[in-house]
Amino acid sequence: MTSPLASEAAPFGRVLTAMVTPFTPDGELDVDAAQRVATYLVDRGNDGLVISGTTGESPTTTVDEDGRLLSAVIEAVGDRASVVAGVGTNDTRHSIDLAEQARKAGAHGLLIVTPYYSKPPQSGIVQHVNAVANAGDDVPVILYDIPGRTGVQIAEPTYTELVRNPLVVAVKDAVGDLERGAWLMRETGIRIYSGDDALNLGWLAIGGSGIVSVVGHAAAREYADMVAAVDAGDLATARAINERLLPAVRALMTHTQGAITAKVALQLLGVLEHRTVRGPLPEATDDEVALVRDGLVASGLLES
């Protein structure tokens, strides 16, 4: 299924949130809550959502749960936002199953993270990505390069190999090297999405296509305004938005895992009733809830 927001410059939209996966208090998948969250996020300014990523606690969900979640989100918002399915694991056969399921469900894109823990050589990364991408048939791929979690970084020459597959069109970058990213865009034509909210403005300023955000659970409208300001060459406005959001970025991104803080934020905003997470993630402490609340208030995203 073709994304309603697809373009050559931004194949998955501009402002995407790596959406949390809502659970019931007893830890079961809450599909109704997922549709409410997805609708809220798109209403607030997201033109794309990434489902079953790290923030979606994908290591703890089953193939069946991933499929039901994806279908529910597509049903809720798939006609007005790109819905990208996280299908990357450290098992190529498992990822192929997820990619085939996502294609059948109508996903607009596949997010493929570098295989983690096993630390494959670069040739293994290429084989893995091509096998999973091809299982998705004609669904475009956004890579996810996050060596801090996976233990391995995609090398610059490997990008040259990967983009030979026409399905590989973009990367969510959490390496954080702007010079390297600019070089990759110049040399390979790959589109870069910011994978670190602290660097969103930097990536946009050097030609990044958009962002895949955690803070977007609370600040999608503000990030959409930032994107528009950068597009218009109004860096003063973009900087002002970035500065305003710094307390929220620090609160959601630096004190504990993003899935935990994002669920706290949604609960504080009245979107999510339960902030249940699955082990090994622990529930937010009272101190962590207070930190998130203070950060949202300081950024003007929540009334005090």
Q: Looking at the annotation, which residues are catalytic?
A: 144, 172
CA-nearest of 247, 238, 252 to 299 is 247
The residue behind tokens 């600019």 is 182
CB atoms within 10 A of CB 199: 21
Which residue type occupies 82? S
Which residues are CB-contacts of 262 (< 8 A; sequence separation ≥ 6)?
Answer: 20, 55, 214, 217, 252
Which residues are CB-contacts of 74 (< 8 A; sequence separation ≥ 6)?
Answer: 1, 83, 105, 106, 107
- List strand residue ranges (DSSP E) for the chain, in order: 15-18, 48-51, 82-86, 109-113, 141-145, 168-173, 191-194, 210-213
Tokens of 19: 């959406």
